[in-house]
């Protein structure tokens, strides 16, 4: 199968019989553009770039300044858009260039820039221009790239104040613990003691057994632990369902792999099958060669015995007769 058109010519049953049940369904759907997965949000990029290649090499600073302004404005817009969407900021700003004498791109780092230094695209263009003009081998230029690399989450994007860093650890632990239930009003019939049960002294027998019990602190703890276990169980169930949606069970090795690795995993099993076939073929050839070699040795041994017997007969035939004594 060299292309998608070749896979489309097979039915679902044929693909399942050849590649397994789950892989066959995946191939049948994917070659027809059928995908039931939910659309997930795109991941934050690791780098941003604005680039320009020049058919006619640029040799003057005035011509290059125009492109610094254009590319810096584009890179500045992308940095700010991704900062608003993902709250990430580049660790390093780099300029890359290629010349007529050296087509391989070389780079020069500008270091990290704070958001206050990138309020406008003009400030970024000025930084690029100063760095580029300080290079000795930048002209005649045939390629220019402005890059922002090492995008990581920016802690300053959150709305925390400096007081957060001076919070005592005991306060943090107190916030994480469950809050105790509100104290109950004391019962006047129990001599103002809230811990005693409000049971009338006249109640005896079945009346005492069916008396309504007041909830205690231990009951609240049991309810809290039960609620905590229920939350953990629900969370595990959700994680299992998410795993089932993003992975599938391989029919050959009975392992769950991600949907993105289906093709690679199928190639892995295909390579194992080829290796197994080659191993069987090599063992068959080796056994055949050994049998042939032993057969040749046996035939050679028989020929040697026949030759020895013929030599003995020839020697006896030509041996002179001994003369009898008179």
What pLDDT, on the 0 to 100 scale, is given for residue 49? 92
Q: Is residue 87 assigned to a domain?
A: yes
Q: Is residue 53 assigned to a domain?
A: yes
Of residues 29 and 220, which shows the higher confidence score? 29
Q: Is residue 65 assigned to a domain?
A: yes
Q: Is residue 171 assigned to a domain?
A: no
- Across 83-87, 158-162, 240-244, least confident range: 158-162
CA angle 35/36/41 to nearest 5° reads 90
Contact partners, residue 26, CB within 8 Å, separation at least 6: 248, 259, 262
Contact partners, residue 189, CB within 8 Å, separation at least 6: 198, 200
Q: 18: part of which helix (H) or strand (E)?
A: helix 12-19
- pLDDT of 226 higher than 80: no
Reported in sequence order, the residue ranges of 206-306 that DSSP labels E, i.e. its strands, are 247-249, 256-258
Residues 16, 263: Cα–Cα separation, whole Å = 15
Residues 10, 20: Cα–Cα separation, whole Å = 14
Q: Is residue 56 assigned to a domain?
A: yes
Q: Is residue 102 assigned to a domain?
A: yes
Residues 25, 259: Cα–Cα separation, whole Å = 12
Q: 96: part of which helix (H) or strand (E)?
A: strand 88-99
For 291-309, the pLDDT digits (tens) are 766 676 766 767 777 777 7
Could you list the residue range(s) of the whole structural domain that residue 99 is in?
47-156
CATH code (residue 58): 3.30.1490.100
- How long is the chain? 326
Of residues 279 and 231, which shows the higher confidence score? 279
- pLDDT of 181 higher than 70: no
Residues 308, 316: Cα–Cα separation, whole Å = 12
3-state secondary structure of 142: strand
What pLDDT, on the 0 to 100 scale, is given for residue 177? 54
Region 212-220: mean pLDDT is 56
What pLDDT, on the 0 to 100 scale, is given for residue 97? 94
Residues 148, 144: Cα–Cα separation, whole Å = 14
What pLDDT, on the 0 to 100 scale, is given for residue 50? 93
For 182-213, the pLDDT digits (tens) are 555 555 544 444 444 444 445 555 565 565 55
Domain count, the chain: 1
- Across 27-31, 34-38, 87-91, least confident range: 34-38
Six-digit token pair at 159?
A: 């709305």
Q: How much is the mean pLDDT over the chain?
A: 76
Residues 152, 80: Cα–Cα separation, whole Å = 14
> 208 with 219: CB under 8 angstroms?
no
Q: Is residue 235 assigned to a domain?
A: no
Of residues 244 and 86, which shows the higher confidence score? 86
Q: Is residue 317 assigned to a domain?
A: no
- pLDDT of 228 higher than 90: no
What pLDDT, on the 0 to 100 scale, is given for residue 194? 46
Six-digit token pair at 232?
A: 């953990």
């Amino acid at each position: 199968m060299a292309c998608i058109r070749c896979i489309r010519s097979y039915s679902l049953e044929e693909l399942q019989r050849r590649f397994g049940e789950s892989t066959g369904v995946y191939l049948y759907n994917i070659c027809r553009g059928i995908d039931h997965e939910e659309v997930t949000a795109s991941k934050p990029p690791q780098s941003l770039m604005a680039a320009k290649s020049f058919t006619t090499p640029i040799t003057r600073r005035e011509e290059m300044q125009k492109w610094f302004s254009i590319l810096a404005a584009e890179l500045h817009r992308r940095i700010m858009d991704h900062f608003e969407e993902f709250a990430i900021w580049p660790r390093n700003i780099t300029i890359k260039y290629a010349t007529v004498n050296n087509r391989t791109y070389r780079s020069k780092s500008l270091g990290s820039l704070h958001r206050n230094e990138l309020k406008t695209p003009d400030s970024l263009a000025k930084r690029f221009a100063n760095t580029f003009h300080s290079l000795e081998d930048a002209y005649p230029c045939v390629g220019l790239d402005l890059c922002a690399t090492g995008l990581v989450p920016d802690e300053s994007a959150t709305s925390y104040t400096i007081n957060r860093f001076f919070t005592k650890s005991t306060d943090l632990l107190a916030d994480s613990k469950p809050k105790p239930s509100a104290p109950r009003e004391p019962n006047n019939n129990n001599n103002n003691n809230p811990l005693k049960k409000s049971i009338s002294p006249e109640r005896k027998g079945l009346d005492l057994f069916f008396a309504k019990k007041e909830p205690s602190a231990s009951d609240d703890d049991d309810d809290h632990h039960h609620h905590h276990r229920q939350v953990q169980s629900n969370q595990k169930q959700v994680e299992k369902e998410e795993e089932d949606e993003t992975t599938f069970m391989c029919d050959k090795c009975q392992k769950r792999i991600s949907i993105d690795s289906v093709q690679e995993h199928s190639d892995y099993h295909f390579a194992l099958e080829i290796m197994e076939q080659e191993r069987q073929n090599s063992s068959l050839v080796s056994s055949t060669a050994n049998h042939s070699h032993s057969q040749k040795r046996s035939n050679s041994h028989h020929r040697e015995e026949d030759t020895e017997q013929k030599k003995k007969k020839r020697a006896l035939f030509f041996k002179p007769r001994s003369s009898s004594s008179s």
